[in-house]
Amino acid sequence: MNDKSLMENLLLLEKGVCDLFLHGTIESPTDNVHQTFNTALSDALCMQDTIYDKMAAKGWYPAEQADQNKITSVKQKFLAQ
């Protein structure tokens, strides 16, 4: 397995962990459990961001710049509602 595949797998795994922690946070029956899940979610999101940054720096996760006209169009659409 090459480095790119390994990083892709780590990122997918971390996204899954974030999803589980999010649902744990939402469904928590007590404040203590909620805070524990929320802290774990925050830590997992930071790790996900670090993995993404490393992949993007190597060109393994290319992102396109959004067209400003499209952004403005979507803003206007939702402001009109």
pTM, rounded to two decimals: 0.77
d(CA 11, CA 7): 6
Question: Residue ranges per domain, the chain?
Answer: 3-80
d(CA 53, CA 19): 19
| 58 half-sphere exposure, CB direction, 13 A CA radius | 11
Whether the pLDDT of residue 15 is over 90: the answer is yes
pLDDT tens digits for range 25-49: 999 999 999 999 999 999 999 999 9
Whether the pLDDT of residue 80 is over 90: the answer is no
Residue 69: partners with Cβ closer than 8 Å, 6 or more residues away: none
Q: What is the pLDDT of residue 11?
A: 96
Is the alpha carbon torsion for 42, 44, 47, 51 positive or negative?
A: negative
